[in-house]
Amino acid sequence: MKPGIHPAYGPVVFRDKAAGSAFLTRSTATSKKTVKWEDGNTYPVVDVEISSASHPFYTGTARVLDTAGRVERFERRYGRRGAN
């Protein structure tokens, strides 16, 4: 790798505002805010709106919404699959 052209890569805490959870990882993201972590060290903290801790797909609370009966309307127009 060429020296001096890559961003600094180091430990960063990502804090999920929706779930109230946080995790320590390595990233090139930076922040002026810091937080004291469980190990006693201070790390930069990046607040995120949503992460795997609060996203419905990962938490298992995802729902498929059928707005205005679209499935039923499709079945009326084109018939049910396997009806013949």
Q: Residue 22 has which token pair?
A: 């946080």
pLDDT at 53: 75
Give the pLDDT band of residue 79 (cuts 50, 70, 90): confident
Q: Is the sign of the CA dihedral 65, 69, 70, 74 positive or negative?
A: positive
Q: Residue 56 has which token pair?
A: 């419905």
pLDDT at 46: 93
pTM of this structure: 0.64
Segment 48-52 shows an average pLDDT of 81
- Under DSSP, is residue 58 helix (H, G, I), strand (E, B) or coil? helix
What gap in Å lies between CA 45 and CA 11, rounded to an integer?
9
Question: In the predicted model, what is the mean pLDDT of the chain?
Answer: 84
